[in-house]
Each structure stands twice: as C-alpha cells, then as structure tokens.
Amino acid sequence: MNEPALYVVATPIGNLGDMVPRAVETLQTVALIAAEDTRHSAKLLEHFHIKTPLVAYHDHSDSHRTAQLIARLQAGESVALISDAGTPLVSDPGYQLVAAARAAGVRVVPVPGACAVIAALSASGLASDRFSFEGFLPAKQVARSKRLAELAGDTQTLIFYEAPHRILATLEDLVAAFGPERQVVVARELTKTFETFLSGSACEVRDRVAGDSNQQRGEIVLLVAGAPKVQTVALDERAQQVMTLLAAELPPKKASALAEQITGVKKKQLYQWYVETRP
C-alpha cells in the first residue's frame, strides 16, 4: 500500500511497453486516480488490470474539485495524478493540484516515465546541454510570428508541441523568423508505429512536410537548434554602464535596442554581453 501522498505518475505516450512497473504498482494501490480524460485512461487501466476508481481532473476542473482531492489527501488517502499520455504538468493539467497539495503540506511524489519532450530531444541530434520547452505556440499567425521573433536569438535548443493542422504554417513562420538555414527536427508519433524524425535546415524540413501530407498528421514535437553564439566583443566602460542601467528597468532586448541608440554599439553585441556577464 502506498504511503499517503499525491503521486504524479507518467504514462506511455504511445507504446504501452513503456509503462514502468512502479507506475503500475502505484496505480493499483492508491485510493483514487485523478485522470485528464477518464474514458481514455480507462483503456490504459484495463490493459494493466488496474481497478482503482477514476475521477476527472483536467484544464477545466474548478477549485471545488481541487479542494475535494486535497481533502482526501489530508484525510490520509493516496491519490495518483495522470494525464492522457506522458508526464503530467508538461503541457498537461495538474499544476494547480500539485501547488495546492504542497501548500497544504501534502507530500508529492513523482513516478517518472515517458515524456515526449525528452524522448524527442534524446534522439534529435541537437544540443541537449541547454534547452527550453516552450509548449504550444500561439494558434494565430500574427501572435505566433511575434513569439518566434522573440525566441530567434536564443542560443539553447528550443522545443515546441504543435498541432498537425498547424505544423506547415508554423514551419513557414519559423523560416521567416529564424532564417532558412537554422537546423530543425520534426519528431512525429513518438513510440508509435509511424514514428518519424525529419531533420535538416528549416527550409528543407518545411518543403518535406509540404510535399508529404502524412507528415501533417499525428502528435508532433518540433525542435529547433539554438542561434549561433555571437563572439563576445569587449564593450567600453560607458557602454557597459548604459546597458546595465537600462537592463535593470527594461527587458534585455528592449534595453539593448535603446542602448544602441545611446552608445552606437550594435544591439546584438550589447545583448550578448549582458546575457554572458549577468550573474
């Protein structure tokens, strides 16, 4: 029997063989399972002969449902949180419940397993020492392009989830924002029968997706290589002071644009100096 706690349990993202034994045991022995979609999760539980009661907990669950689960946890019951696939809270529901549990002094226990972000990164061939998971980009083109423009200078690998009906439009916007030569990987249907990795320049991957409708189906992880690091240029003392003062009051990119006007030093150099020298 599990100790009283909220167990955050990862489930397979496609291949049921990826369900770890500890996850099965946890789901079999908790008092209750809070699932993103009870109908979807019922199939998983049936496969592993898990008969634990299910209750819905998803993005539209209100504070009353959260309070009900916290009350059961405080009463000494154990509860497992699962999403439809993968690790809960990674672009899935659960944050409010975990935060409320911790605030109430309830123990929260992770039960690791499948995660599409990490699975895609591990096989992408892109740098994995520093990366940023950005979730889903905005659905509307103007907002999406703006967000990509904000991320274009980041030097870490960027990871997104994207809907199949938007992947081609997103790749078009990515080419415009990051340039046609930025390295891109589209990881599709991970761990499933039609798992596919497309890699190459942003322009090449866009064209391959445009020419094959099969690549516009299924669940997609989009990975983008970080921007090349700009060689650090020594700034004179005045430029350093101006950039430091402005960055204390403004976002770094706005500060570097304004500092360029004041000092004459290129904003890219100012921004890179700030990023590399801040504590």
Q: Give the residues across from 224 on adjacent strands.
A: 158, 184
Q: Which domain holds residue 217?
A: 117-224
pLDDT at 231 over 70: no
Which tokens is 278 given?
């801040």
Q: Please check whether residues 10 and 83 belong to one and the same domain.
A: yes
Task: Provide the pairing of β-strand 220-224 with 183-188.
Answer: antiparallel
Same domain, 72 and 93: yes
Range 152-178 average pLDDT? 96
pLDDT in tens, 22-56: 999 999 999 999 999 999 999 999 999 999 999 99
In a domain, 230, yes or no: no
The reply to whether 22 and 94 lie within a common domain is yes
pLDDT for res 274: 87
Please check whether residue 188 is in contact with residue 171, taking contact to mean a CB–CB distance below 8 angstroms. Answer: no
Whether 247 maps to a domain, the answer reads yes
User: The tokens 């990881």 sit on which residue?
Assistant: 187
Show the tokens assigned to 144. 């999406």
Q: Do both 123 and 97 map to the same domain?
A: no
For residue range 241-251, what is the model confidence (pLDDT) as tens digits? 999 999 999 99
**pLDDT category, 233, cuts 50, 70, 90?**
low
Say if residue 172 is in the same domain as residue 189: yes
* Domain contains 105: yes
For residues 169 and 141, is the Cβ–Cβ distance under 8 A?
A: yes
Does residue 252 belong to any structural domain of this protein? yes
Q: Is residue 215 part of a domain?
A: yes
Query: Which of 222, 220, 240 lies closest to 232 in space, CA to CA?
Result: 240
Give 195-214 pLDDT, tens digit per residue.
999 999 999 999 999 999 99
Instruction: Output the domain CATH number for residue 84.
Output: 3.40.1010.10
Tell me, what's the pLDDT at 113? Answer: 96
Alpha-carbon dihedral sign for residues 86, 95, 91, 276 = negative
Provide the CA 114 distance to its chain's centre, in angstroms. Answer: 13
17, 36, 84, 128, 241 from 48: Cα distances, Å: 11, 18, 15, 34, 62
Interacting residues of 206 by C-beta distance below 8 A, sequence separation 6+: 168, 171, 172, 174, 175
Mean pLDDT, residues 124-136 taken together: 96
Which residues are paired to 148 by β-bridges? none
pLDDT > 90: percent of the chain: 84
The pLDDT, as a whole number, for residue 232 is 58
What is the number of domains present in the chain? 3
Q: Quick check: 176 pLDDT over 70?
A: yes
Q: 151 and 52, same structural domain?
A: no
Please indicate, yes or no, if residue 1 is contained in any of the structural domains: no
Res 93: pLDDT: 81
Retrieve residue 212's tokens. 């094959």
In a domain, 229, yes or no: no
Residue at which a domain ends, from 84, 114, 144: 114
| Residue where a domain stops, chosen among 114, 143, 161 | 114
Q: Which of 75, 56, 76 is nearest to 66 (CA)?
A: 56
Residues 31 and 76 in one domain: yes
- Do 167 and 260 lie in one domain? The reply is no
Domain shared by 100 and 152, yes or no: no
Question: Closest by alpha carbon to 7, among 92, 141, 157, 107?
Answer: 107
Domain boundary residue among 77, 92, 114?
Answer: 114
The answer to whether residues 108 and 124 belong to one domain is no
- pLDDT tens-digit profile of 210-220? 999 999 999 99
In the chain, the amino acid numbered 143 is: A
How many other C-beta atoms are found inside a 10 Å radius of the C-beta of residue 228?
9
Answer whether residue 232 is part of any domain.
no
3-state secondary structure of 97: helix
Spatial contact of 155 and 129, defined as CB atoms under 8 Å apart: no
Of the candidates 35, 11, 44, 14, the one whose C-alpha atom is nearest the C-alpha of residue 218 is 14
Q: Does residue 181 share a domain with residue 124?
A: yes
Q: Is the CB of residue 120 less than 8 Å from the CB of residue 223?
A: yes
For the chain, helix (H) and strand (E) counts, in that order, are 11, 10
Domain identity same for 131 and 89: no
How confident is the model over 83-99, as pLDDT tens digits?
A: 999 999 998 889 999 99
Strand bridging mode 6-9 / 108-111:
parallel
